[in-house]
Amino acid sequence: MNIDFSGSDQATLDFYSKEAPVYVASGAGGVSRWLEPFMKALPVGAHVLEMGCGGGRDAEAMFANGFDVEPTDGSIEIAAKAEKRLGRKVRVMRFDELNAIDLYDAVWANASLLHVPRIALPSILGLVFHALKPGGLHFANYKGGGLAGRDKFGRYFNYFDRDALLQAYSNSGDWEILSVHEYVGGGYDNAQGPWLAISARRPFA
């Protein structure tokens, strides 16, 4: 599968680099359905890391609500599109390059960590755990299904089921799991299918 166990899949990164204009344009319909409750759970002016910002629509909404957002993306081309929308720097960062310690009030990962190879996800989540301040909030969502594989565009998805996803979090740190929601959603391919949304907190020391 040519999977990089550091947490990246080159074919997936290549897709986003090549399809950046079309992909970013496809995301103009609105922010994530999970963003409003996420923001409501944050302190005023919270320092938020966004992992996989795409075209920047969620970051734009968080900036508008007064949060100190650090948008990042693994694709140079996608990051450039987000910079144009946001009018500010977007850091190009692969998931495994996260090296912050006790820095963020929250880490937002909407439809991004679902591309991390299953074997690598606990280590990536461990980086997220340590990047959060004690009491920090993390959100991520994943396509469901149970078996890892590729979609018709060649993108890798880890396709977790509920039990396997919770196990990945358990293997990565002493998370306090706040909620796991199973729902039906779509994506770039316009296909509807199962998704999992998880909210977790790094416990206070």
* pTM, to two decimals: 0.90
**Cβ pair 66, 72 in contact under 8 A:** no
- 154 burial class (0-12, 13-18, 19+ CB within 10 angstroms)? exposed
Q: Which two tokens stand for residue 17?
A: 């680099």
- 122 burial class (0-12, 13-18, 19+ CB within 10 angstroms)? middle
Tell me the pLDDT of the chain (205 aa) as tens digits: 334 434 567 877 777 766 655 555 444 457 899 999 999 999 999 999 999 999 999 999 999 999 999 999 999 999 999 999 999 999 999 999 999 999 999 999 999 999 999 999 999 999 999 999 999 999 999 999 988 999 888 889 999 999 999 999 999 999 999 999 999 998 767 678 999 999 999 999 7
Choose among 128, 138, 62, 144: nearest CA to 95.
128
The number of folded domains in the chain is: 1
Q: CATH number of the domain at 105, please.
A: 3.40.50.150
**Cβ pair 110, 140 in contact under 8 A:** yes
